[in-house]
């Protein structure tokens, strides 16, 4: 009888551990992904390379794309750059850059030094598009389908693992088409 009493702490711990386990899967910092499954917000900004021209959503709608939010002031962006280059070389999906609250000259310099994985870059100097998009911080990566609907949002460095997850989603679309 009293031996059984000694099991009480162990039982209590199991209950606690179960809750902690559950707690791990809930992220209290989960961001309101208000735009998930909604169209990419309309904008009209200049591309990074050509200050006189204008790009809009029409420039990339029609095929699935990745939109990558980056800036030269962000060390983590440097970390994910290799991965972006690898994706662009694999030719699996085009990447559109969203250069966020940055300086044009510095950004161009960065692309020259580190290589350019982007099909083109949207130059969002005031962060207005970023605000519409709900950007929390750089880097962030959005997956858009051929209709320009946001299907997935990745916050933080795009690791090889994250890219694998994205590939699964893209493959899923391909199989539906065929």
Partner 1 sequence: MIPEIGEFALIIALFLSAVLALVPMYGAATVNELWMSYAKPLAKGQFLFMLISFICLGYAFSQDDFSVIYVAQHSNSQMPIQFKLSAIWGGHEGSLLLWAFILSGWTLAVSLFSRSLPLDMLARVLSVMGIIATGFISFLLVTSSPFLRYLPSFPEDGADLNPLLQDFGLIVHPPMLYMGYVGFSVAFSFAIAALLSGRLDTAWARWSRSWTNIAWAFLGLGITLGSWWAYYELGWGGWWFWDPVENASLMPWLVGTALVHSLAATEKRGVFKSWTLLLAIFAFSLSLLGTFLVRSGVLTSVHAFASDPERGFFILMLLAITMGGSLTLYAFKAPNVKSESNFSWLSREVLLLVNNVFLTVMAVTVLLGTLYPLLIDALGAGKISVGPPYFNAVFVPIMGTMAVAMGISVAVRWRETSTKVVIDKLWLPAAISILCGLIFPFFYGSGFDFRVFIGISVSLWVISTVITEFIGKFRNAQSFSIKLKQLPFSYYGMMLAHIGVAVTAIGITLVSTYSEERDIRMAKGDSVELAGYQFIFQGTHVVKGPNYVADQATIEVLESGTFVVTLHPEKRRYNVKRNMMTEADIDAGLFRDLYVALGEPLNNGEAWAVRVHYKPYVRWLWLGGILMALGGLLTVADKRYRQSKAEPEDAYV
Partner 2 sequence: MTPKRKKRLTIILGLVFGTALIVGLVMFSLSENINLFYSTSQIANGEAPVGTRIRAGGMVVDGSVKRSTDSLKVQFALTDYEQQVTVEFTGILPDLFREGQGIIAQGKMDANGIFQADEVLAKHDENYMPPEIAESMKKKQEAQK
- Contact residues for partner 1, defined by CB under 8 A: 2-3, 5-7, 9-10, 13-14, 16-17, 19-29, 75, 78-79, 113-114
Question: If contact means CB under 5 to 8 A according to the sort of partner, which of partner 2, partner 1, none does residue 32 touch?
Answer: partner 2
Binding to partner 2 (CB under 8 A) within 147-176 occurs at: 156
Dihedral (CA of 77, 79, 82, 86) sign: negative
The count of C-alpha atoms lying within 13 angstroms of the C-alpha of 11, restricted to the half-sphere facing its C-beta, is 5
101 and 130 Cβ atoms separated by less than 8 Å: yes
Asked if 138 interacts with partner 2 (CB under 8 A), we say yes
Question: If contact means CB under 5 to 8 A according to the sort of partner, which of partner 2, partner 1, none does residue 160 touch?
Answer: none
Core vs surface per residue 124-149: b (16+ CB within 10 A) or e: beebebbeebbbeebbbbbbbbeebb
Stretch that binds partner 2, among 70-78, 82-90, 91-99, 163-171 (CB under 8 A): 70-78
The C-alpha atoms of residue 120 and residue 107 are separated, in whole angstroms, by 12
Size of site (CB under 8 A) for partner 2? 24
Residues interacting with partner 2, by CB under 8 A? 29, 32, 34-35, 71-76, 100-103, 106, 109, 127, 131-132, 134, 136-138, 156
């Amino acid at each position: 009888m009293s031996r059984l009493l000694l099991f009480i702490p162990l039982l209590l711990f199991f209950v606690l551990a179960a809750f902690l386990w559950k707690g791990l899967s809930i992220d209290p910092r989960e961001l309101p992904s208000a735009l998930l499954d909604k169209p990419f917000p309309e904008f009209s900004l200049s591309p990074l390379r050509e200050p006189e021209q204008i790009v809009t959503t029409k420039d990339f709608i029609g095929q699935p794309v990745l939109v990558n939010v980056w800036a030269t002031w962000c060390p983590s962006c440097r970390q994910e750059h290799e991965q972006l280059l690898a994706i662009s070389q694999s030719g699996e999906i085009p990447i559109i850059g969203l250069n966020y609250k940055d300086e044009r000259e510095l950004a161009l310099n960065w692309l020259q030094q580190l290589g350019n994985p982007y099909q083109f870059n949207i130059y969002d100097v005031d962060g207005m598009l970023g605000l519409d998009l709900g950007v929390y911080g750089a880097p962030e990566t959005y997956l858009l389908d051929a209709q320009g609907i946001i299907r997935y949002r990745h916050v933080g460095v795009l690791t090889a693992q994250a890219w694998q997850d994205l590939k699964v989603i893209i493959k899923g679309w391909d199989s539906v088409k065929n």
